[in-house]
Amino acid sequence: MYHKLSSPTKGRRSLKTSLLVLLTICTLCLTGTLSGCSQSSQSPSVKLAEEETEEASSADPNEVDAEYYLGETVFVGDSRTNGLLTYQLLPPEQVFAIDGSTQKSIRDQEFIQLEPNGEYLTVKEAVEERQPHRILIAFGVNAIPLMSEEEFMDEYDILVDELTEASPDSKIVIQCILPVAWWKHESMPYLTNENIDHFNGLLKDYAEENGYTFFDISDHFKGEDGSLSAEFDAGDGLHFNQSFYHEYIELLMTEQP
């Protein structure tokens, strides 16, 4: 009786198969290990960069840096607007205002210097040269006692037309007429807060009908009786103190009309 020996060829095939199986198992284990190491060893800087990229992609594309927004705005108005210069909150090349002026009287005045020793320009000429991103217009307290509703709105429209002609790509922002002290009508007839609210209604309708922005911040500066809060009154019932202008700038930078 004898045992049949396996052939050499069959033994080699069996060995090769075993080696292939072992090699496959090792490869799978090694791949999984390296993958795990790659994921776990990702540097904090890479993760931070990825997070910042995600945050940037989710940011509001319409949001504008507040200081940039303010720097690209030109303000046209009367003494109330001039307070921005009085308290040194904005440079002269951004504030085109004359004390006691109206939307009519300011148009022909050559009073703006955009450069030291430069020629004096009208509002329209200065806007044409600057081409600002937006123009904020604020008139009313000097015009209400002097003009009828029709004249008030006609003169406002003429001013806006001149400015849009000078700088067609500028956004027009019409600011509401801000309140006065309850007793101010004693020295300025017809300048009551009731009349101011009425004219603000006309300005709001005008802005909406023509595609302009109406910036209404009256309630922010009113007291409980609907008149100018003493907190923001410079003392004459008409003009504003430094606290007002700091609040005003904050509102502009926050709301960005």
Question: Given CA atoms 101, 215, 69, 84 in this order, what sign does their dihedral have?
Answer: positive
Predicted pLDDT at 110: 97
pLDDT at 36 over 60: no
Task: Provide the pLDDT confidence category of residue 66 given band limits of 50, 70 and 90.
Answer: confident
Calpha distance 57→51 (Å, rounded) = 10
Amino acid at 91: P
Among 240, 256, 248, residue whose Cα is nearest residue 83:
240
pLDDT at 96 over 90: yes
Contact 228, 179 (CB under 8 A): yes
pLDDT at 257 over 80: yes
| pTM, 2 dp | 0.76
Predicted pLDDT at 228: 98
pLDDT at 44 over 90: no
pLDDT tens, residue by residue, 139-175: 999 999 999 999 999 999 999 999 999 999 999 999 9
Other C-beta atoms closer than 10 Å to the C-beta of 220 total 13
